[in-house]
Structure 1
């Protein structure tokens, strides 16, 4: 069975995936808001300890180098073995003295800088749109839709690092899932031009950049035509509900209203269910 958990982490993103192969993947992590008094959020480390105790992480994917996608990385690495670390060859720099102003920890940025140059434990992989799929990607039904090397170049030139966000497609038993990262409109156009519209169709779509209108590329998303749209969002922040409600043929689930959202796919079972009723 394929199990995909979209965690209610607040402002950031964290998706945990258990593949039928047994491989465990974590796509982004954020625990920077778990102590907020006005919300009940999921600590990703606690979730892993409860649901998948003592299991190593075969694949950690940092979709792009924003702190709300890597907060908790230091703790994750100290508590789990990470075999592969997917990253882009971005050249982002930050002022670590100001991280605390956003509720972030210097240790997580420093851990990212440490891990992204390693050859093993974890092994760092720079994987792009035109890369040839390796056997273990195929085994897990994973396809990299983006970024392209041209979008990485644009990200480094403009210092808009959402341009080089990973966009990942997963397929199992005929069910297709697209994880949109924080990909920009330009990145989505690049993906459509390279892959074509048929490759974009999906049943479940994790909307990019927490549902922000700034990242909606309607001509591209029309080809996705999902049954379900997932929005990783936090209270006090508005996303484009009207648009995504029209896009989804079945349901829009936001983590701020529905909590953790789980998708299960096997030859006999295909269901999606939220932690709360919204």
Structure 2
């Protein structure tokens, strides 16, 4: 059984995956508000029985690594997954300085790129199973990525340096994180990235219109749920025609993966969703509803 949680941290991202193997993964963090201590305590508690904990940094923006120095002090980061870079910033915050320290520590940093493999990220052995994580992007030889990296290393822009991180279980449920990729960049790399049907997609750039997932991507991903982050409502794109969960309304979102089911919980007791099936779950407070995972096999026409 796997638990995936998306914390409501305002204009930022903090996720974790409590894998159904001996793995625990944190994807990005924004730990600068009044809930930071509570979030860190939960991360410590949920990872306590796991042998491997990793932190995946999608890209070097402060709302994706804010407070990382606090997290590292409380639960030391020994496995820091990051796109290789030499990014600079005019305003070097404490969190950015700590990000750079982890990024440049060859004993802790593992540089991620399209198709990379690592024990126990996507390779298992007799000691422990795979975490089921696949890196779909960046292709470090791609000219569009090279341009985005150059912008970051010149201190101009950082969004299009984002890694694409996909997690999938043996039972078929899959999740995709897009970081802060922007629409025009996604359109440029459509033919250079391998996209497959995915159960839950976290919309790029916190759900902003500037990070609208292109239709060419959505046709391949065919998501059952798109999660929209906490950007101001006037900046959001709502993906008409898809089941959508908006974190502005739902608050913290917990996904409980059980066989071919995804049970969804919200920290907002008043949140509801008509598009989800009621399967009478009570593992956590705030049950919203469930979906049955579709995959390429269940979607094939009957023969």
> Which residue does the alignment assign to 2:291?
none
CA deviation digits over 1:92-124, x for unaligned, max 9? 211237xxxxxxxx221111111111122xx20
Secondary structure of residue in 2 paired with 1:60? strand
> Which residue does the alignment assign to 1:223?
220
- The higher radius of gyration belongs to 2
Cα distance in 1 for residues equivalent to 2:168 and 2:7 = 20
Cα displacement (A) at 1:7: 0.7
Secondary structure of residue in 2 paired with 1:134? coil
> Which residue does the alignment assign to 2:285?
none
Higher helix share: 1
Deviates most, 170-179 or 264-273: 264-273
Residue segments in structure 1 that go unaligned for 5+ positions in a row = 98-105
> Cα 1:170–1:54, aligned 2, differ >3 Å: closer, same or farther?
closer
Q: Contact 1:146–1:187 (CA<8 Å) still a contact in 2? A: no
> Which residue does the alignment assign to 1:13?
13
Residue segments in structure 2 that go unaligned for 5+ positions in a row = 123-129, 272-303
Query: Matched residue pairs, number?
Result: 255
Corresponding position: 1:148 with 2:139: yes
Aligned Cα root-mean-square deviation (Å): 2.4
TM-score normalised by structure 1 residue count: 0.82
Structure number with higher relative contact order (C-alpha < 8 Å, ≥ 6 residues apart): 1
Q: Contact 1:12–1:68 (CA<8 Å) still a contact in 2? A: yes
> Cα 1:42–1:213, aligned 2, differ >3 Å: closer, same or farther?
farther
Cα displacement (A) at 1:188: 2.7
Cα displacement (A) at 1:267: 2.4
- What is the 5 A alignment of 1:126-275? 126-131=111-116, 133-138=117-122, 139-149=130-140, 150=142, 151-158=144-151, 159-172=156-169, 173-189=171-187, 192-196=190-194, 199-216=195-212, 217-234=214-231, 238-241=235-238, 244-246=239-241, 248=242, 251-267=243-259, 269-275=261-267
Cα distance in 1 for residues equivalent to 2:37 and 2:264 = 18
Cα distance in 2 for residues equivalent to 1:256 and 1:263 = 17
> Cα 1:254–1:57, aligned 2, differ >3 Å: closer, same or farther?
farther
Deviates most, 44-53 or 66-75: 44-53
